[in-house]
Structure 1
Amino acid sequence: MKTIFKISLILFSIVSYAQTNTEVFLFDLESHNSKIEIKNGKNISNNQGYDNQPSFLDNRYIVFSSIRNGQTDIAKYDTRYNAKIWINHTEGGEYSPLKIPNKHEVSAVRLDPDGKQRLYTYSLSNGQSSELIKDKVIAYYTWFNNETIVSAVIEDEKLNLYVSNILNGTNQKLASNVGRSFHKIPNSNLVSFISKENEIQWQIKSLNPTTGAIKVIANTITNVEDICWLDNKTILSGKDNILYKLTLNKDNNWKQIADLSSNGITKITRLSTNALSTQLLIAGDIEANSASQEPIDNSSEDETEITETETTSPNTSTETSDIEAIIQRNLDAYNARNIDAFMKDYADDVKLYVYPNTLQTEGKEAMRKSYNDWFNRVPDLRAFIKKRIVIGNKVIDEEQVTANGKIFNAVAIYEVEDGLITKVTFIQ
């Protein structure tokens, strides 16, 4: 019975919102003389199903967990061009992506097909991943610095707080029965966490990961464990569709600052601010009729401009979504070196070109022979999509390919007709 409970808790800790329709919203944030205002709300995920746990990579890029083809992966959003790409292509589901300090990498909790829940690091250059902490089932976490992680570890039928050093492999338990919200407190050497030791009144506490010292900061809103810091004195939190703030040593209680019902949000589940405290990310359940609506505010023309170095936002029409799904399925088969699944997506008269118009192979059989030999000769074969543009029936992928220990870049232009790939042009 104890084993069953632990397995259930592991799954619940990450996928408890999986059946809800959550979206990620980006707001402008202004603060003047203790008055906080949020405006220009925009749905940046705009995706049916689970989109949650957003965080800022920097003042331009955002990462969050997003579902596609029935699996949760890491999405990267460019605020300058309103564009979304995918960081990883793994068999597991990724949750709680965060920038690793001073590295060109993100971390995420991954629920693997074998049922194990681990913390991984992912390269922002090629998406390759590696396990960070062994022998600990991590549910939620934050980075104190690029060596130290503060996390909620699943054990003894609850979540316990650990400080882990990834360089020397040490893990120190410092608190029991904690919540899911962990944040580095701005301009301090402290991390905040939610203590649930008092079941009637949860508390926000601070931890010094170096000394282990723990202090009480404030009470949470009743039964709410999701917070973020605007600065080292002001905390934001939400209950249902209402956003609140608490300024330490000034506010006696949580004060309402915004009603998000006009944005279609019915329940706030995650919050995150950028380093400048000028933007706010809010993830939340939305009204049923808001599931696939366009972004709430209208983007200006320059925000959707196509450039040579940036991807456009995916077209949300069914036809274009189907075309992109075909290309993604084909890429997955390529990375699995599954020749039958790979060739299934190509037309009998498919033509492969080297840019601009040099015919490489013609016909499905010739292509199968060439790629089957390639798959057999390259055991470390892997293609990672750096950028993707979908225009009409064409998909343009900028790829980074690993083969026989070498890495090279290429561009592939796919053309799809009647559900099959009829032409591919490669630029190397």
Structure 2
Amino acid sequence: MRSSFLFLLSFNYIFSFAQPNTEVFLFDLNGANGTFKVSNFKNISNNDGYDNQPSFMDNGTILYAGTRNAQTDIIKYNLNYGLKTWISFTEGGEYSPLKIPNQNAVSAIRLDPDGKQHLYRYDLKTITNEVLIKDLVIGYHVWAGQHQIVSAVLEDDGLSLYISDLRTKENKRVATNIGRSLHQIPNTDLIGFISKNTSGISDIKSFNPINGAIKTIARALPNSEDLYWLTVNSILMPKDDVIYKLDTKSTIGWTAAVSLKEFEIINLTRLAISPDGTKLAIVGELSDQAIMNTSVSDQPLAPTLENIKWIAGNWKGEAFGGQTEENWSEPSGGSMMATFKLIDNGTVVFYEIEIIREVENSLMLQLKHFGNDLKGWEEKDETIDFPLKEITPTKVVFEGMTFEKISENEMNIYVDIKQDDGSIKNVKFNYTK
């Protein structure tokens, strides 16, 4: 891949290889009443090298470009299970993955070792691939319906905007000197892009793939390359450790929507939001302090109650369409004890009694279920057991259940629950206290 990287370095404004160790971060997003609040931070790439260009396939799946064996390939990340699946296995490096509309397939840029760069289609069922557009050196793209692609094409030491029809094989240039960020504007047929001029000022514009019309929408955030549409009139652009927001119907201009400084994430670039608006994926770098803290948090700890006592407390959250409450005691007498209840529509659905106890130089989590009348679900002497696998400063991992510390007052619990069809579903409980 050395020749491939050298080729791309000449276009570092396209693939941003100047960014060291970029990561893809995931947040829960709350946009109620015009707010923009993030929580439940997670580094989903957690990988040395270039991890970038996230896009959502659906509410539960993210695509992004990640480094594997010194080569950049496409990863499909399952949000429910935290599982990563590589979908490309070619000699070339793949970038800029997008779900193809109405197909079980992904489109992505591929740069082969011989320097050829094309847009490919990757079939997720057959694991095969084929070239979509041969005649253009495409850096970035976005789908405009099932048969048209709008792309940023490398030419004349810059990027030009093209529209390609896959049925007629026609490619048409519609603008020059554009940026790398291309997105469909919500609830329209329009494609949004950044237009640059010789004075260094950039404008956000729209392109109509139906009639070819280009209109100026607003001035772009200075010194920022990436944008994302929340709504037809609301645009996001990141810079440094802040995500900025613009209301195109207002005269206020760009305002800070949210800062990620508390999460130690800097140099923000590309971002994407899930179709249901509840998840934010964004690319950035960990600060030096965060890298040091991460190294410490990865170190395994001894299997003692003292190392998991942060679980103690009165925790409340939501799950299964209702409200949950879980109360963990401080360690004493060689164990920690908890009670759990689920309330739906003002009525208790079920209870649990849980313990974590010391067993043969390790820990064991055990629990029993009870109906709202305190009649047990399990047999008299039967318990559901979760042997300990690992403890780190931020995680307690049992077989089938994981406690994840987000902050002093927030944690996630992930539980494997068997379904009626025999499959296992991983359910996340987000708690605060």
TM-score range, shorter chain: 0.5 to 0.7
Partner deviation per Cα, 1:243-284 (whole Å, 9 max, x = no partner): 111112125211112111222211111011122222211011
Q: Which residue of 2 aligns with 1:374?
A: none
1:18–1:224 CA distance, 2 compared to 1 (3 A): closer
Q: Which residue of 2 aligns with 1:177?
A: 177
Q: Which residue of 2 aligns with 1:201?
A: 201
Q: Which residue of 1 aligns with 2:95?
A: 95
Instruction: Provide the rounded CA distance (Å) in 2 between the counterparts of 1:152 and 1:66.
Output: 21
Is residue 243 of structure 1 aligned with residue 243 of structure 2?
yes
What is the DSSP-based 3-state SS (H/G/I as helix, E as strand, rest coil) of the residue aligned with 1:126?
coil
Instruction: Provide the rounded CA distance (Å) in 2 between the counterparts of 1:26 and 1:91.
Output: 29
Q: Which residue of 2 aligns with 1:33?
A: 33
State whether residues 206 and 215 of structure 2, in contact with CA within 8 Å, keep that contact through their aligned partners in structure 1.
yes
Displacement of 1:17 in angstroms is 2.1
Partner deviation per Cα, 1:295-331 (whole Å, 9 max, x = no partner): 883541227999986799xxxxxxxxxxxxxxxxxxx
**Taking CA–CA contacts closer than 8 Å with sequence separation of 6 or more, which of the two structures ends up with the larger relative contact order?**
1
- Using the aligned pairs only, state the percent identity: 46
Instruction: Provide the rounded CA distance (Å) in 2 between the counterparts of 1:179 and 1:261.
Output: 26
Displacement of 1:127 in angstroms is 2.4
Is residue 63 of structure 1 aligned with residue 63 of structure 2?
yes
State whether residues 182 and 192 of structure 1, in contact with CA within 8 Å, keep that contact through their aligned partners in structure 2.
yes
Q: Which residue of 2 aligns with 1:122?
A: 122
Of 402, 414, 417, which residue of structure 2 is paired with 1:301?
414
What is the DSSP-based 3-state SS (H/G/I as helix, E as strand, rest coil) of the residue aligned with 2:36?
strand
What is the DSSP-based 3-state SS (H/G/I as helix, E as strand, rest coil) of the residue aligned with 1:162?
strand
Partner deviation per Cα, 1:85-123 (whole Å, 9 max, x = no partner): 111111111111000111100011111110111111111
Is residue 106 of structure 1 aligned with residue 219 of structure 2?
no
More helix by share: 1
State whether residues 142 and 182 of structure 1, in contact with CA within 8 Å, keep that contact through their aligned partners in structure 2.
yes
State whether residues 14 and 95 of structure 1, in contact with CA within 8 Å, keep that contact through their aligned partners in structure 2.
no
Q: Which residue of 1 aligns with 2:143?
A: 143
Comparing 125-134 and 30-39, the one that deviates more: 30-39
Is residue 265 of structure 1 aligned with residue 378 of structure 2?
no
Q: Look up the equivalent residue of 1:165 and give its one-letter code.
A: D
Is residue 282 of structure 1 aligned with residue 395 of structure 2?
no
TM-score normalised by length of structure 1:
0.67
Comparing 197-206 and 97-106, the one that deviates more: 197-206
Instruction: Provide the rounded CA distance (Å) in 1 between the counterparts of 2:161 and 2:202.
Output: 15
What is the DSSP-based 3-state SS (H/G/I as helix, E as strand, rest coil) of the residue aligned with 1:24?
strand
What is the DSSP-based 3-state SS (H/G/I as helix, E as strand, rest coil) of the residue aligned with 1:132?
strand
Q: Which residue of 2 aligns with 1:12?
A: 12
Q: Which residue of 2 aligns with 1:234?
A: 234
1:301–1:120 CA distance, 2 compared to 1 (3 A): same
State whether residues 64 and 97 of structure 2, in contact with CA within 8 Å, keep that contact through their aligned partners in structure 1.
yes
State whether residues 26 and 41 of structure 1, in contact with CA within 8 Å, keep that contact through their aligned partners in structure 2.
yes
Superposed CA RMSD: 2.5
Q: Look up the equivalent residue of 1:259 and give its one-letter code.
A: S
Q: Which residue of 2 aligns with 1:382?
A: none
Q: Look up the equivalent residue of 2:183 and give its one-letter code.
A: H
Q: Look up the equivalent residue of 2:238 and give its one-letter code.
A: G
Instruction: Provide the rounded CA distance (Å) in 2 between the counterparts of 1:146 and 1:18.
Output: 34
Q: Which residue of 1 aligns with 2:396?
A: none
What is the DSSP-based 3-state SS (H/G/I as helix, E as strand, rest coil) of the residue aligned with 2:146?
coil
Partner deviation per Cα, 1:316-360 (whole Å, 9 max, x = no partner): xxxxxxxxxxxxxxxxxxxxxxxxxxxxxxxxxxxxxxxxxxxxx
1:269–1:200 CA distance, 2 compared to 1 (3 A): same
Q: Which residue of 2 aligns with 1:52?
A: 52
State whether residues 193 and 205 of structure 1, in contact with CA within 8 Å, keep that contact through their aligned partners in structure 2.
yes
Instruction: Provide the rounded CA distance (Å) in 1 between the counterparts of 2:26 and 2:59.
Output: 12
Partner deviation per Cα, 1:4-48 (whole Å, 9 max, x = no partner): xx9667643554326611111111222233222222221111112
Displacement of 1:225 in angstroms is 1.7
Q: Look up the equivalent residue of 1:63 and give its one-letter code.
A: L
State whether residues 417 and 424 of structure 2, in contact with CA within 8 Å, keep that contact through their aligned partners in structure 1.
no
- Superposed counterparts of 1:149-168, under 5 Å: 149-168=149-168
Q: Which residue of 1 aligns with 2:328?
A: none
1:131–1:115 CA distance, 2 compared to 1 (3 A): same
1:308–1:175 CA distance, 2 compared to 1 (3 A): farther
Q: Look up the equivalent residue of 2:415 and give its one-letter code.
A: D
Instruction: Provide the rounded CA distance (Å) in 2 between the counterparts of 1:13 and 1:311.
Output: 41
Q: Which residue of 2 aligns with 1:406?
A: none
Q: Look up the equivalent residue of 1:172 and give its one-letter code.
A: K
**Could you say which structure has the larger radius of gyration?**
2
State whether residues 416 and 425 of structure 2, in contact with CA within 8 Å, keep that contact through their aligned partners in structure 1.
no
1:179–1:95 CA distance, 2 compared to 1 (3 A): same
Instruction: Provide the rounded CA distance (Å) in 2 between the counterparts of 1:17 and 1:192.
Output: 24
1:127–1:134 CA distance, 2 compared to 1 (3 A): same
State whether residues 269 and 285 of structure 1, in contact with CA within 8 Å, keep that contact through their aligned partners in structure 2.
no
Comparing 161-170 and 30-39, the one that deviates more: 30-39
Q: Look up the equivalent residue of 1:37 and give its one-letter code.
A: K
Instruction: Provide the rounded CA distance (Å) in 2 between the counterparts of 1:272 and 1:72.
Output: 20
State whether residues 41 and 296 of structure 1, in contact with CA within 8 Å, keep that contact through their aligned partners in structure 2.
no
Give the number of equivalent residue pairs.
307
TM-score normalised by length of structure 2:
0.66
